[in-house]
Amino acid sequence: MKKYVIVGCGYRGITSYAVPIVKEYQDCAELCGAYDVNRKRAELVSEYTGETVPVFDGFEKMLEETKPDTVIVTTVDAFHDEYIIKALYSGCDVISEKPLTTTFEKALAIKKGGGGNG
């Protein structure tokens, strides 16, 4: 069973990722945490999925406590790199909505965070 967490709990993140994980892939995937800078949005994950999904007050805390296999990043585009890099350094796989990031410099930082030579 793969463990997933989501960062960025707007409508797209919840309906495109959280709900399918909980309702369609429960035999092979577990949504074990949600984080958003707006806690109320993170709390909506449980409402939309119909399951209790733990909500965290910090992204790093969520990574430490849940030890996910994969982090799903659906935040505001300009902040994708921040969460992608932290997830990669924590040893997680990352799924990010598009765009991956918003600048060339941030793309290089992601490449470095993922162990690339850049």
**pLDDT above 50 for 68:** yes
- Which pLDDT tens digit goes with each residue over 30-47? 999 999 999 999 999 999
Strands in 70-73's sheet, in edge-to-edge order, are 29-35, 2-7, 70-73, 93-96
Look up the CATH number of the domain holding residue 28: 3.40.50.720
Pairwise CA distance, residues 53 & 80, whole Å:
22
- Burial level of 70, CB count in 10 A (0-12/13-18/19+)? middle
| pLDDT tier, 118 (very low <50, low <70, confident <90, very high otherwise) | very low
Residue 113 pLDDT: 76
User: Residue range 79-101: average pLDDT?
Assistant: 96
Is residue 18 one of the residues assigned to a domain?
yes
- Please give the single-letter amino acid code of residue 93: D
Is residue 118 one of the residues assigned to a domain?
no
Helical H segments across the chain, by residue range: 11-13, 19-24, 39-49, 59-66, 80-89, 104-113
Residue entry with tokens 């989501």 = 6
Q: What's this model's pTM, rounded to 2 decimal places?
A: 0.94
Residue 116 pLDDT: 54
Is residue 91 one of the residues assigned to a domain?
yes
- Count the domains in the chain: 1
